[in-house]
Amino acid sequence: MVDGRGVEDVVVVGAGPGGLAVAGALRMRGSDPLVLDAGPHVGERWRTHYERLHLHTPRGWSALPGYRIPRRFGRWVARDDVVRYLEEYAAHHRLRLRTGAAVERIDPGSGDARWEVHLADGTTVVARDVVVATGYNHTPVTPSWPGSDGFTGEVLHARDYRNGRRWAGRDVLVVGTGNTGTEIATDLAEHGATRVWLSVRTPPHILARDRMGVPAQATGIAVRRLPPRVVDRVSGVLARVQEADLTEFGMPRAAADLYSRTLDGRVPVQDVGIVSAIRARRVEPVAALEAFDGDEVVLADGTRLRPALVVTATGYRAGLEPLVGHLGVLGERGLPTVRGSARPEARPGLWFTGFTNPISGMLRELRIDAERIAAAISSSRGGARPRG
């Protein structure tokens, strides 16, 4: 809502799951935040993910505040149904959206207008509180390999991959063994790529999405408060039973560092086909990519491959520096030093959500963050009447 001086009560930057969750939680407490997003629709990044993507967390544990994911979307919600859910969520809470509004910078304001939100179109929105929810996976990262400029094949970041139909009958190298890389490798094999190589630098932890009906997320929730060294030690023992042994197919076993690795932003891989694809030799683990040489790629063990396509599933960064890098609120990895209901002490009215990659499930943690942020903002106003 806007007061008589044109000051917004709350501005939320980002209309993905994190931003919508905060806006929905605020609406439930009687506020009417303005949600800004650079894209033309809510959930714009979800619309451009690869087509086979499904949530790795079950429907019942993935809902945002105040509106359940419809049962018709199934237990493991598909990409397109996630988009439909976000659209329904915004409509259910009657969120005030301004799409096509790219935020370039956030600066301190004065008085009740504590923050100035500067848009790419030259306009400025002033607000008492600003919630930054632009996402953990915002800006693609591609390593600079020697010789890459002269590679005669095609290089495609995972962000731009949709499906493997175009690559049927051709050889492809996928670089990166996170959930995205392993799923894209599986998708390419299922679409008939002649050979699919999976470049492995650090062997991943690969877990079943569920066991006897119990989702892997349940374990993540149970251990998230335990000391990392304890979880690493226990998971290292359980790995002999819970993680497939793919060493005979060229995939080394992961180190006993499952939780420590997660805290560093690298969650375990959920097996939605990669294990069977490797065992069937439709996906072949190979050494790390070291360089390009004309129409070939050179691996760390000296092997040379000649793929038509290299897919770089090498991750993202938050890309917050242009927005808030000048405010002293980012840590070494470019991530906020605080999140959720915590806020930078020297920056009252500035909040962050969605900048971790938790073992307990991203959407679950976004819901918890949103409810805490909404409660904290409401409390700072002396409480607000819940919306009926």
CATH number 3.40.50.10860 given to 141-312: no
Q: Could you say which of 3.90.1170.50, 3.50.50.60, 3.90.1200.10, 3.40.50.1370 is the CATH number of the domain covering 8-138+318-380?
A: 3.50.50.60
pLDDT at position 215: 79
The DSSP secondary structure of 78-135, one letter per residue, reads: BHHHHHHHHHHHHHHTT-EEE-S--EEEEEEEETTEEEEEEETTS-EEEEEEEEE---
Find out whether 28 and 147 touch, Cβ atoms under 8 Å: no
Mean pLDDT of the chain: 91
* Residue-range domain boundaries for the chain: 8-138+318-380, 141-312
Q: Which two tokens stand for residue 40?
A: 């033309």
Residue 253, H or E segment? none
Q: What's 371's DSSP letter?
A: H
pLDDT digit string (tens) for the chain, length 388 residues: 555 458 999 999 999 999 999 999 999 999 999 999 999 999 999 999 999 999 999 999 999 999 999 999 999 999 999 999 999 999 999 999 999 999 999 999 988 889 999 999 999 999 999 999 998 888 888 899 999 999 999 999 999 999 999 999 999 999 999 999 999 999 999 999 999 999 999 999 998 888 777 777 777 777 777 787 777 776 766 666 678 899 999 999 988 887 788 777 778 899 999 999 999 999 999 999 999 999 999 999 999 999 999 999 998 889 999 999 999 999 988 999 987 777 777 799 999 999 988 878 899 999 999 999 999 999 887 655 444 4
Read off the pLDDT of residues 161-185 as tens digits, 9 standing for 90 and up.
Answer: 999 999 999 999 999 999 999 999 9
The predicted-structure confidence for 323-346, as pLDDT tens digits, reads as follows: 999 999 999 889 999 877 777 777
Distance, in Å, from the CA atom of 321 to the CA atom of 139, rounded to the nearest integer, reads 11
Q: How far apart are the first and last CA of the chain?
A: 17
Same fold, 8-138+318-380 and 141-312: yes
